[in-house]
Structure 1
């Protein structure tokens, strides 16, 4: 017994989303790569719900400019193929102790039963800069892998919740990002860190549009203010407005939501990040 596929509200030929979808055959022919964020883009009629979700994110990121959205999606699909994403084999690259404790993916409950996906970058876990940051391409594979894992928990291929048109409401399919700087030992403008930060920002800006809900910078040393200057140079004003600096880590839980999903040392009542991540992976979060 088959279930009926969800339908997109108000999908008429005069709206940008419909027009963007009509460009998809040419985009897929040019890129030969239909996969992105767990979704396989299709040119079917009526349009597949998951395909429209992806297209809507690209449209919203450029204020409904169909030409620009098509250009950006084309670049992203080419980049994903070149970067080696979306391969059929399920082998996960192991990064070993160099990245141990540096990144996590969890969920935090919100009122009404909703759950926000959260990525954590724990920079205080870095003891030797050359290990995670010395090989830029290796660092980027790890960092993009963290983002892709988080996106997988948005369930874009199966959700039935649409994204409103640009200017008509919030996108419900986005991620909180948290950067923890407590105990950071690299209190200087290290060129390895700057190069990794710059490259990561450029990739996120170019190939992960409308996926950031909020970004928190927690316990940031004053001497690292250069990072915010760098960020402002590479992101849009709309994106930078999502950034929030939290001086005292104990205040983070108040911003995120359910205290049980936030570690105790960050103002919550939950276990450590490793345990929270295992809870998510086990499907009990």
Structure 2
């Protein structure tokens, strides 16, 4: 998601919230004892590093330009990332084995007007034994956070030159779509293990992944159960809840996403299956 356009953060007024937050970086980094986030190493320089401003802008937008709140939240996130074991150099990716096979994918969907969106897919209907992926909560969270981190890596936040508008002045171009596929899931028997995993995941995403969600689709939700997903809005911010879309018929998903060749046929597109699309994105990275 890179571009040749020039950054627009070169002439900010001294009292701009972005520069105020940037001035606090030394204190934030010292307290957190961690500086890495989403492929970006936060640094305090003059002039400010573009990639650092990008991260700071996300935190500012998530709290309507409240500099104190943004500084507090960023500090908490950096501490959490260190504690969770993220950002380690030369870390060997954890292998989760067959218990998580077919449960999650990351793909890229082109847009008709150019560019592309990164998409994460959670295929809950692929779960055959609830205790295997959900029985160990910490293991599930490592897998789920790993999927999110892999998707974010494709946003290329460390190298992009596309700035993020100030709060209330335009859309953040560096976000991802999330799609939850519920075909084959029994909504009337929500297991406590799934409830616990869902609650913990929502809490982590809310606290440590601000301004990264473009849209979230709940697909193959029975019409009679649509109310349940409306109720989720009570547990997330109003801004996040506005991004939720419930789609009862999976064939209707394709027209919501973009180019049909990047969407599986059974989901309203004319492309290959999710596993193939996931591998295609990996191949593009290697190339």
Is TM-score (shorter-chain normalized) higher than 0.5? yes
- Which residue does the alignment assign to 2:134? 133
Change (3 A) 1:48 1:253: same
Distance 1:93 1:228, change over 3 A: farther
Q: 1:71 & 1:50 partners in 2: Cα distance?
A: 19
State the structure with bigger RCO (CA 8 A, min sep 6), 1 or 2: 2
Partner of 1:66: 67
**8 Å CA contact retained: 1:124, 1:185:** no
* Farther-moved stretch of structure 1 (271-280 vs 233-242): 233-242
The within-5 A match list for 1:11-22 is: 11-22=12-23
- Cα offset for 1:12? 2.2
Aligned residue for 1:35? 36
Does the 8 A contact of 2:254 with 2:268 survive in 1? yes
Query: What's the CA shift for 1:183?
Result: 1.6
Tell me the residue number matched to 1:262: 263
CA displacement at 1:232 relative to structure 2: 2.1
Return 5+ residue gaps in structure 1 as ranges: none
Compared CA separation, residues 25 and 42, structure 1 to 2 (3 A) = same
Aligned counterparts of 1:227 and 1:190: Cα–Cα separation in 2? 16
Greater CA drift, 7-16 or 33-42? 7-16
Task: Note if contact 1:189-1:226 (Cα within 8 Å) is conserved in structure 2.
Answer: no
Q: Tell me how large the CA RMSD over aligned residues is.
A: 1.8
* Cα gap change, 1:180 to 1:57, in 2 (>3 Å): same
**2:28 partner SS:** helix
Q: What is the distance in 1 between the residues matched to 2:192 and 2:228?
A: 12
Seen in structure 2, the aligned counterparts of structure 1 residues 224 and 243 have a Cα distance that, compared at 3 Å, is closer
Distance in 1 (CA, whole Å) between partners of 2:10 and 2:227 is 44
2:279 aligns to what?
278
**Contact 1:123–1:184 under 8 Å retained in 2:** yes
TM-score (norm 1): 0.95
- Name the TM-score, length of structure 2 as normaliser: 0.94
**C-alpha distance in 1, partners of 2:204/2:23?**
26
Between 232-241 and 243-252, the greater mean CA deviation after superposition: 232-241
Q: Deviations over 1:178-231 (max 9, x none)?
A: 0000122564121001000000000000000000000000011445854552x3
Question: For residues 273 and 14 of structure 1, do their structure 2 counterparts lie closer, same or farther at Cα, with a shift above 3 Å needed?
Answer: same
**Structure 2 CA distance for partners of 1:214 and 1:105, relative to 1, 3 Å:** same
C-alpha contact (below 8 Å) 1:31/1:78 kept by paired residues: yes
Unaligned runs of 5+ in 2: 1-5
Matches for 1:155-174 after TM superposition, within 5 Å: 155-174=156-175
Return the offset for 1:14.
1.5
CA distance in 2, matches of 1:172, 1:7: 14
Question: In 2, are the aligned partners of 1:76 and 1:207 still within 8 Å (CA)?
Answer: yes
Indicate whether 1:83 and 2:84 are aligned.
Answer: yes
Q: CA separation in 1, counterparts of 2:11 and 2:257?
A: 33
1:102-133 CA-to-partner distances (Å, cap 9, x unmatched) read 00000000133211000000001001100000
What SS does the corresponding residue of 2:86 show, helix, strand or coil?
coil
Question: Match of 1:107, SS?
Answer: strand
Q: 1:105: which partner in 2?
A: 106
1:196 aligns with 2:204: no
SS at match of 2:109: strand
